[in-house]
Amino acid sequence: MNMRKRPEAKGEAHGKLILVGEHIVVYNKPAIALPIPLMIRASIKEHPGEVSISSNIYTGNLNGMQGRLLGLYKCINEAFWRCNKPVEGLHIDITSELPDGRGLGSSAAAATAIVRGIYDFFQRSLSEEELYSLVELAETYAHGKPSGIDMMTVSRDGPIIFQKSIGALPLIAPCALYFVVADTGIVGDTKKAVNHVKNIKAQRPFAIDSIINQIEDIVIKAKEAVLRGDLILLGDLLYKNHEELKKLEVSHPKLDHLVEIAMNTVALGAKLTGGGMGGCIMALTKDMNDAGIVSRELIREGAKEVWYFSTASKERYRLSSELNEG
Ligand code: MEV
């Protein structure tokens, strides 16, 4: 057996933003997603005894991970087994810039960062397929029956168009895209939102299928808009997508309020992003200056935290309702 290991190793992953197509992607329809430059980092160190974890959501032994953390527990155990190592002798410290339960992919990013860290610690190479199969274990417990878009986006460097039966393909815009992401401060529940759509689809199949088809049409047009760099059209499509998501009953009055605020300032478009029923909105702007204007207005109007960034540079900013930071 190969006994190589490092005294310390690291793994990281960024969060994700769904640009268009959340929820319909569960029904094998396309969606577009991109990285948000907020990181989760796992630092792995040798530590005698049971595997232990420290993080902002759980601190304790691996065996104590229960409830919604059961998937992550299974994922970590499986990663050890696949590396042919006994599940012992490590401490995993997780630090996160991503708020939890806000539709920004924190569960997929945490699992990805940890798996990468464990494989690095044992100096094993990690294929994309192996990473996805491990992260899927964590995601299945966190989300029920995830489409896979979160784990695909958190491990890739750029925007993707994703469909369950096809997988992820890169989607490259000819220009920089500027985004604002605002947190309502309300914890969303993706599993609950996905189940809600499933239930109303069973009760009103014709009406809900027609909304799903409308959103699919939005995604197809948004793909063309991204490829052409047509920001005006893309903005319109984001707002239309939000209107359709409201009909799927996954929005929330605070999400709707922040979307309207963004639209009434200088955003080109805005919508909820991710599972909804809380969580975050995203807005598209023409440049970083406008992103700053929209962000400040969103904070004034009740957003808990706002981030804005460009897809073309490492520049990113954060504003908080508690204190404003550059
Ligand atoms: C969650 O980020 C996106 C949803 O479409 C669920 C999924 O695709 O697994 C709501």
Does ligand 1 have an atom closer than 6 angstroms to the CB of 146?
yes
Q: Of all protein residues, whose CA lies closest to atom 9 belonging to ligand 1?
A: 146
In testing the pocket of ligand 1, which one of 27, 107, 150 has its CB within 8 Å of the most ligand atoms? 150
Q: Are 96 and 55 in contact (CB under 8 A)?
A: yes
Instruction: Return left, alpha or beta for 72; rule: phi > 0 is left, psi -120 to 50 is alpha, else beta.
Output: alpha
The answer to whether residue 150 is catalytic is yes
SS3 115: helix
The alpha carbon of 25 and the centre of ligand 1 are apart by a number of angstroms equal to: 7
Instruction: Return left, alpha or beta for 273; rule: phi > 0 is left, psi -120 to 50 is alpha, else beta.
Output: beta
The total of other beta-carbon atoms located within 10 Å of residue 202's CB is 9
**The pLDDT value given to residue 326:** 46
**The pLDDT value given to residue 323:** 63
Helix 70-82 × helix 106-121 angle, to 10° = 20
**The pLDDT value given to residue 7:** 81
Question: From CA 206, how far away is CA 319, in angstroms rounded?
Answer: 43
Measuring CA to CA, which residue among 53, 143, 35 is closest to residue 93?
A: 53
Backbone angles phi, psi at 290, to 5 degrees: -65, -35
Q: Of all protein residues, whose CA lies closest to atom 10 belonging to ligand 1?
A: 275
Does ligand 1 have an atom closer than 6 angstroms to the CB of 276?
no
**The pLDDT value given to residue 322:** 86
**The pLDDT value given to residue 141:** 79
**The pLDDT value given to residue 6:** 75
Question: From CA 79, how far away is CA 73, in angstroms rounded?
Answer: 10
**Which tokens sit at 72?**
């992550």
Question: From CA 315, how far away is CA 295, in angstroms rounded?
Answer: 15
Four-CA torsion 11, 167, 139, 207, nearest 10 degrees: 150
Counting from 1 in the atom list of ligand 1, the atom nearest the Cα of 190 is: 10
The alpha carbon of 59 and the centre of ligand 1 are apart by a number of angstroms equal to: 27
Counting from 1 in the atom list of ligand 1, the atom nearest the Cα of 22 is: 5
183 has which bridge partners? 280, 305
Residue with tokens 């005006």: 232
Which residues of the chain register pLDDT less than 50?
Answer: 1-2, 325-326
Counting from 1 in the atom list of ligand 1, the atom nearest the Cα of 150 is: 2
**The pLDDT value given to residue 276:** 97
**The pLDDT value given to residue 263:** 98
Q: Of all protein residues, whose CA lies closest to atom 8 belonging to ligand 1?
A: 147
Contacts of 191 (CB under 8 A, 6+ apart): 142, 143, 144, 275
Question: From CA 188, how far away is CA 278, in angstroms rounded?
Answer: 4
Cβ burial of 157 (10 Å; 0-12, 13-18, 19+) is exposed
Active-site position among 93, 120, 150, 183: 150
The alpha carbon of 218 and the centre of ligand 1 are apart by a number of angstroms equal to: 17
DSSP letter assigned to residue 272: E
Does ligand 1 have an atom closer than 6 angstroms to the CB of 18?
yes
Distances (CA, A) of 213 to 220, 228, 234, 266: 11, 23, 18, 29
DSSP letter assigned to residue 45: E
The alpha carbon of 23 and the centre of ligand 1 are apart by a number of angstroms equal to: 5
**Which tokens sit at 9?**
């190793």
In testing the pocket of ligand 1, which one of 194, 196, 241, 244 has its CB within 8 Å of the most ligand atoms? 194
**Which tokens sit at 2?**
């190969």
